[in-house]
Structure 1
Amino acid sequence: MKFIGNKATVMPLAVVTVLLAFGMPQADAQGLFERLFGGGIRRAPQGYFPPPPKYRSKPREFAGGGSRINSPSYYTYKADRLVRVDFATLMAAPQPVAPQDAAFVPSLTSDAFREAIAGLGDYELYAEPDIAKALIAYYSANPDFIWVTGIGPNGRAQDAVRVLGEATSYGLTPADYSVEVPAAGALTGGADARLQELVRFEMALSARVLRYVHDAQSGRVDPNRITGYYDFPAKPLDMEGVLKTLVRTQQVRTYLESRHPQNAEYQA
């Protein structure tokens, strides 16, 4: 017959049996029982309250003086407001004095330009503020035609008008650079009318060429005016320098097309 349990269990049971047989005070028996089998359920004395939980301080918030990053803002796009070119400065320049009895004949020199600017008094040409300023500054210092030779548009003018008309090939709108070209031929409306037509064509073509060069270099739309997320630096453009270059070259198409980006990504 096998005993249930091991020796460690049998010995305490034997001791308890002997003690109960011979008798033992109840308190001593209770203490012995607890020592042999462990104490019973210990209860906290009545009226006892556990200690409060330890206080945990809140983590300190960073109070540094760092920059605060805001989400980008978006704007209602506004293009430059067009202004009327003020030709008063050009018209106020000293005019060449001609004999009173001399018939008016268009000159092939810079005197023709000085004679022609009288036809700008009521001419309404609108352009961006920078372009309007550049026109007056350039022609005040250089009172001569760029796009007119004799009594009609020259080769430079023809090349420039063609390039402006092909603006679509560069993602631009030809209507933004359109110019009314004087009809070729004789002085059908008289010398004064022809000079007025030519000088107005001169100013209009210069204004639209400058707009084209600006847009070719910097784009028609300024991304910085769309959202505060962009911060592209402005690309400087010497507009008077552009006109000075055009008056010295016959390669107008080459020059105007060179103002577009020349990197491989754009060319692709």
Structure 2
Amino acid sequence: MKITYRISELVPYINWVYYYFAWQVKEEAEKQRMHAEALAKLQELDAQYQMHAVFELFDARSQDDDIEIYRTQLCPDCGVKHPVRVATIPCLRQQQGNPPFMCLADFISPKASKLGLFATTVDIGLETDFDGDVYQKMLTQLLADRLAEAAAERLHEQVRKEYWGYAKDENLSIEDMLVEKFQGIRPAVGYPSLPDTSLNFLLDEILDMKQIGIRLTESGAMKPHASVSGMMISNPKARYFAIGKIGEDQLQDYARRRAVPAEVLRKWLNV
């Protein structure tokens, strides 16, 4: 599923806390000034640029620390629909601190579950059309970063209430959503519970992120920079966590499951 958003639709979903943090602004008067400036800029950008998202919902099951995802396809020979495995997503498990040592696969049933995969991004022009003005370039880039996250927030709301529909009766304010009072989690690639950015290569194979303009670097980083990719998990017990440092034993096992040389993963994961 491919979705296009107007910038004006996403402005209410912007988490301004991170915008002010990026500017290192703490005084309330300065925050108000920057907020007004940002809103004016967003109104200007709305006339020329859009935001884009891609999402797909899969049947899924966990197998140890892996998540297997399936599409239902019609067998041309027997005329019966069968689940066909699309991919296996290897996950990492915590090894430091106190138990339980968590892994995202823990929140997917080994028998029958579902998993959403998504990506959001900006029109590339938001990152290239302002190179001649240093301040406007920085302003637009920081707003683009917030818009990519806002698109993920809006998409997740639609997924919970409509496309997946596991929380059809949800009645949260945007403020509640921004502090994650909804059911489930939305771990993003490159973030603490899903730190391996090279997983974007796998997500690109599954979702074809190129269809919304996302290209990957040799390490799996996304371009435009203002892009977000990841999973949507509905389990009410799911929560965010940080993988932290992993041991050599898990690195070798993960390399085997990812079919990527351990030394390459060592560099990507900063192990």
Greater strand content: 2
Global fold match (TM > 0.5) = no
Give TM-score, length-normalised by structure 1. 0.27
Give TM-score, length-normalised by structure 2. 0.27
Q: Please say which structure displays the higher CA radius of gyration.
A: 1
Greater helix content: 1
